[in-house]
Amino acid sequence: MRVLGIDCGSRSTGYGIIDSHEGRQRPVVFGAISLPAKQSLGARLVTVHRQLRQLIDSYTPQVAAVEDQFYLTNFKSVMKLGQVKGVVICTMALADIPIVEYSPLQIKSAVTGYGRAEKQQVQDMVGRLLGLASPPRPHDASDALAVALCHAQVMTTESRIKRGISRTDIPVSPGS
């Protein structure tokens, strides 16, 4: 399965595409869509749509995963983030790509094992899990990869449950 993870932001929207097969993931592409503050919000939203559309056309993800909305203290920031997320959802819907949402706690737990992990911990673990030579940069890209990894883990677990394979059925090598 090819998963597109998206970290919505009004100044930078991260993306990360991974391939997931039988519990193993490998990176395909990752980065961030820069959205200059001097541009109007409308122009930034069009940029998000166009660049996501290019990623979809080039890499054909089967599903998209985004971070669920969380609470911020700045109302204007919440509104801008919501507008970016709306464009992301609309872009996926227009491309017939299902979209799923995960809370920050779910994402951090899936990647680090600790739901309150710091950004640097998430970034380091994403790099390790994907076998990268160094942690992915910028943080928006590593956050997007973390969302994709979270979805891949959920799908792997659901697949094992459907096949009737429990964690105890998975062979463990000596010394583990």
- pLDDT (tens digit per residue) in 88-106: 999 999 999 999 999 999 9
pTM of the model: 0.90
Q: Is the dihedral of CA 133, 100, 50, 41 positive or negative?
A: negative
Section 63-80 average pLDDT:
83
Tell me the backbone φ, ψ of residue 81, rounded to 5 degrees.
Answer: -60, -40
Please tell me the predicted confidence (pLDDT) of residue 78: 84
What is the residue-averaged pLDDT of the chain? Answer: 91
* pLDDT at residue number 110: 95
The domain made up of 2-169 has a fold known as: Nucleotidyltransferase; domain 5 (3.30.420)
Pairing label, strands 12-21, 24-34:
antiparallel
122-111-18-84 Cα dihedral, nearest 10 degrees: -60
- Assess whether pLDDT exceeds 90 at residue 29: yes
Cα distances (Å, whole numbers) of residue 61 to 28, 138, 169: 10, 21, 31
pLDDT band for position 159 (cuts 50, 70, 90): confident
> What is the pLDDT at residue 149?
98
The pLDDT of residue 176: 45
Taking residues 63-84, report their average pLDDT. Answer: 84
The pLDDT value recorded for residue 163 is 81
- Please state, in angstroms and rounded to a whole number, the distance separating the CA atoms of residues 44 and 154: 32
Please compute the mean of the pLDDT values over residues 159-176 and round it to a whole number. Answer: 63
For the annotated catalytic residues, the residue numbers are: 7, 67, 140
Convert the pLDDT of each residue in 6-16 to its tens digit.
999 989 999 99
